[in-house]
Amino acid sequence: MAIVSGDTKVFTILGSCVAVVLWDEQTKIGGVNHYLLPNWNNKGAPDVRYGDVAVTELHDKTILSGAVKRRMVAKIYGGASLLNLESATFNIGQRNINIAKEKLKELNIQIIEEQIGGTTGRKILFDPQTGYVKVDLIRNINF
């Protein structure tokens, strides 16, 4: 997870993982998370590797850094199904997408962009000055 402003950009690579970007256009403060699994199992300390924890933490830390909640918007990336072994009920990518949407709805944050699902990984680069997220598809990954 990273909260950024100014010239600092955030880069991450996603497969079945999901990244949520939150951004306040006026303050030009934004944040990005990258989580692996949808739900924390309530064992040990809450961890941002889990979507339900990561989205809430991103929201709270972005506001603590100076973003204004009523102006924040969200963008969602990732959640691909990269392995043929994933059944509809076990599809981690889709479950990661679902938890992002659920938590953002609970937090009353509008989703203005999403590039989610499919069978291809993504590389994203977020620029807090403009709010732009550059997305490149990652092809030719062999498992």
Mean pLDDT of all residues in 132-140: 90
What is the number of other CB atoms lying within 10 angstroms of the CB of residue 90? 11
Q: How many CA within 13 A on the CB side of residue 19?
A: 27
What is the number of other CB atoms lying within 10 angstroms of the CB of residue 52? 18
Q: Does residue 70 have a pLDDT over 80?
A: yes
pLDDT at residue 15, rounded to an integer: 93
Range of the domain at 103: 2-138
Q: Does residue 117 have a pLDDT over 70?
A: yes
**pLDDT for 21-38, tens place per residue?**
999 999 999 999 999 999
Check which CATH number belongs to the domain holding 12 and give it. Answer: 3.30.1330.200
Domain count for the chain: 1
Domain assignment present for 106: yes
Domain assignment present for 20: yes
pLDDT at residue 9, rounded to an integer: 97
Q: Does residue 143 have a pLDDT over 60?
A: no
